[in-house]
Structure 1
């Protein structure tokens, strides 16, 4: 028997399921990994410093590519699953992990998906009027 505080089901189900969970994970993983990155920076030998930096940059890049692909698959706001617009709209928070490693393509890339989401919503509303 589970207590009311315990939620049953998989992590994917609790995050909204399917593509919504994927988009939310793409936003959360780089932010969580940022804590690991900063903490591990004190433990990594100097000879592996660049590899450590590029690992964080790779995590950010993978998340940005994933979010962009999700947007391409679901470009219209009215046809997106519930919660997907929000998950893609808040992906601007990926600017923080990109700035920490001075990964400027990631900083600008983190703004692309939210701008596309906002642009698609504006375009859809303009068509309805």
Structure 2
């Protein structure tokens, strides 16, 4: 059975989005995986095709594999698609991004303390159209 195919931008967004969750998922192992993702995202920004390497890293540990699988499930490329019955919609959460493009964080509640990008520092609020 072949592995699912994903939109390359969805893979990059998954890599950016999982970074804030790594400490909770991996504990003391988070820093190493975070550095590897940051390096791959830097390579992607330079135009290098790193999607396969990112997917391999995200599949390397069941704790991050499950998180990534849930994130990427709606982005799987398939030959046919039929939406589920019933109403659906996006959940509103403010999106903050690293200006250098390698870290994404969503504010789910107003009391949450905003982290900083572990690679470059400050985060900025994404444009409304970027948040979707």
TM-score band by shorter chain is under 0.3
TM-score, scaled relative to structure 1: 0.25
Structure possessing the higher radius of gyration over alpha carbons: 1
Structure with the higher strand share, 1 or 2: 2
Structure with the higher helix share, 1 or 2: 1
